[in-house]
């Protein structure tokens, strides 16, 4: 008999992106494609994501402004 490749039986334990605690099945709090331990941790991550997004947007804006040719009216 050919021995099938043994699939390692590893229970996937995901950690909360906010507090890094391992999430237990009963305590999963699913929001926006990710698991958190509770709404508090979700909000925490949301705030962090929002802040980094705003930062990235500001950076992009600054870059665009720097690259934008300055129109000088020659008159």
Q: Please give the residue ranges that form the binding site for Zn ion (CB under 5 A).
A: 16, 18-19, 37, 41
Q: Nearest approach, Cβ of 2 to Zn ion (angstroms)?
A: 44
Q: Nearest approach, Cβ of 19 to Zn ion (angstroms)?
A: 3
SS3 8: coil
Question: Measured between alpha carbons, how far is 15 from 23 in angstroms, rounded to an integer?
Answer: 5
Q: Nearest approach, Cβ of 37 to Zn ion (angstroms)?
A: 4
19 vs 34 by CB, closer to Zn ion:
19
């Amino acid at each position: 008999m050919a021995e099938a490749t043994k699939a390692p039986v590893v229970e996937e334990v995901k950690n909360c992106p906010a507090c890094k605690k391992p999430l237990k099945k009963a305590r999963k709090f699913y929001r926006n494609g990710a698991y958190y331990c509770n709404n508090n941790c979700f909000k925490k991550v949301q705030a962090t994501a929002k802040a980094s997004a705003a930062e990235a947007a500001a950076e992009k804006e600054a870059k665009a402004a720097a690259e934008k040719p300055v129109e000088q009216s020659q008159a």
